[in-house]
Chain A
């Protein structure tokens, strides 16, 4: 589903990604973790080209990403994304947030798009909020709307960029529950998160990044049970310690 080969990226003089190789198979769930500044957010944002890599190759669903906007749009239609700060459209109602892209990008008839939207709002367990504006919802509810919005495009792959980092502790579970359910249904997922519990439950593979490189990549049992590198051990002691 995703193939990255020797991907590098610089911000000015600073190299955020150094020859990263990563493959994500169809149906696989990959959790990316690592200390802040390790390049994990940049990595996930390369997949739908919110960030541009300077060398190496990024191939998503068989399409190699370059400056061709047609290819970029094709990939973006197939790839849903959920952000740390929700990024719902504040001037639109929940329902309008969910139908916007299906109607204007995929040309789905409005009525059908609304039915799909209500279906996914039910799946994230807030169908009664359809007519409200995002600012009227709690953080957890907003993030679940954001997940539903991405799902309304019927994506083949879902990207989650620290989806629970901006949430109050009591709301984290309601979002993770939705994500676990999505994983059980077989969605291909790439998740940047510090929620190690989530990683243990659903991940097929945990990718640990530090300093712009993938330091370790292993199934969760192996990664949590017997981390190979000192950096991973240190990180785990910090994340799991508190």
Chain B
């Protein structure tokens, strides 16, 4: 009671706010629990679902494999499933500081090679699956992984370039960043999928997935560059003075003194961008790639199951939320240090 009086009802405006919030919760939470659990149908039967009041989780039960793995051959679903587990495992493994050693790179190369083998197949007696048929969660994760892994260093270079003393490099960096930032990701994806093939010599083709991946990397790099530049600007001039006075040449100075500090400052904004990148990958659906959100959308097209969009999107949101929450939770460990 004492706690409640001190924290919830200390003043009149506070009391009003507390009561208002309680009223909203009273109106929404029980209704949601009724819908999501008590009145929900868990069996994959569309007829009972239509009769019922609550959510139809049966839809998810029926369609979860298509949602998670897309058009990947049904009997081979264990392969993308295992690849997903390996990729998530690599991220979790890399989250531990004590593993930040040179050999971690080798672990990643081995892991990604394994994922490639599983997804494509074609060797070790695995059936070949062209990447047109990849889809669902693993596609989202692959686009994000390579998006972050390649856009991040590119962003660092662009940020350094923008602050460079060399006019040509600075102009190129500024031009690139402003050009890319001035364009929506959708139009970049369209350009990558429609225009890029026109410029390539005949006979040379780059597949759709790679083109989308490149577009995502180029897009994300421009945003990351600005975030990193913000971190660089926050470094006091004295740090540069000290590094200069100790005769550290440019790259060593940047790598050993400036970047470690700048990136730590930029962590909240960086994670913000990584989360945005993760969710932006869902835009690839407009060029016909089946990421997690597209597979949800497609599974709703089947006549028996039309109209269960809410359940489907709640499910997809949950999946996205788990990954984003993990990223943001992890990033906090960087901020509390010292």
Binding site for B on A (CB under 8 A): 48-50, 73, 76-77, 79-81, 83, 85-91, 100-101, 104-105, 133, 135, 149-150, 153
Contacts and interface: CB of A to CB of B under 8 A. Distances in A.
Contact of A48 (B245, B252, B257): B245
B238 interface: yes
B30 interface: no
B242 A88 contact: yes
A83 B241 contact: yes
Contacts of A77: 247
Given A85-B238, A87-B238, A90-B261, A104 B244 contact: no
Nearest to B263: A91
Contacts of B247: 73, 76-77, 101, 105, 153
A50 B264 contact: no
B252 A104 contact: yes
Contacts of A87: 236, 238-239, 241-242
A80 B241 CA distance: 12
Contacts of B239: 87, 89
Contact of B256 (A80, A88, A100): A100
B338 interface: yes
Contacts of B236: 85, 87
B246 interface: yes
A50 B244 contact: yes
Nearest to A100: B256
Contact of B248 (A88, A91, A104, A135): A104
A70 to B, nearest CB: 10
Interface in B88-110: none
Given A87-B236, A89-B239, 15 more contacts: A50-B241, A73-B249, A79-B245, A81-B242, A81-B245, A83-B238, A85-B236, A86-B238, A100-B257, A101-B246, A101-B248, A104-B256, A135-B338, A153-B246, A153-B247
Which one of B244, B246, B247 has the greatest number of beta carbons of chain A within 10 Å? B246
Nearest to B243: A89
Q: Closest 9 CB pairs between A and B?
A: A76-B247, A87-B242, A101-B246, A87-B238, A81-B245, A77-B247, A91-B260, A105-B247, A104-B252
A76 B241 contact: no
28 contacts: A48-B245, A50-B244, A50-B245, A76-B247, A79-B245, A80-B245, A81-B245, A83-B238, A83-B241, A87-B236, A87-B242, A89-B239, A90-B338, A91-B260, A91-B261, A100-B246, A100-B256, A101-B246, A101-B247, A104-B252, A105-B246, A105-B248, A105-B249, A135-B338, A150-B245, A150-B246, A153-B246, A153-B247
A120 to B, nearest CB: 14
Nearest to B257: A89
A6 to B, nearest CB: 25
A133 B245 contact: no
Given A87-B239, A100-B256, A76 B244 contact: yes
A49 B239 CA distance: 15
Interface string B29-42: 00000000000000
A135 B338 CA distance: 9
Contacts of B338: 90, 133, 135
A76 B246 CA distance: 6
Interface string B216-246: 0000000000000000000010110110111
Nearest to A105: B247
Contacts of A88: 242
Contacts of B257: 89, 100
Nearest to A90: B261
A79 B242 CA distance: 12
A73 B243 CA distance: 11
A87 B257 CA distance: 11
A153 B248 CA distance: 12
Which one of A76, A101, A149, A153 has the greatest number of beta carbons of chain B within 10 Å? A101
A127 B143 CA distance: 50
Contacts of B256: 100, 104
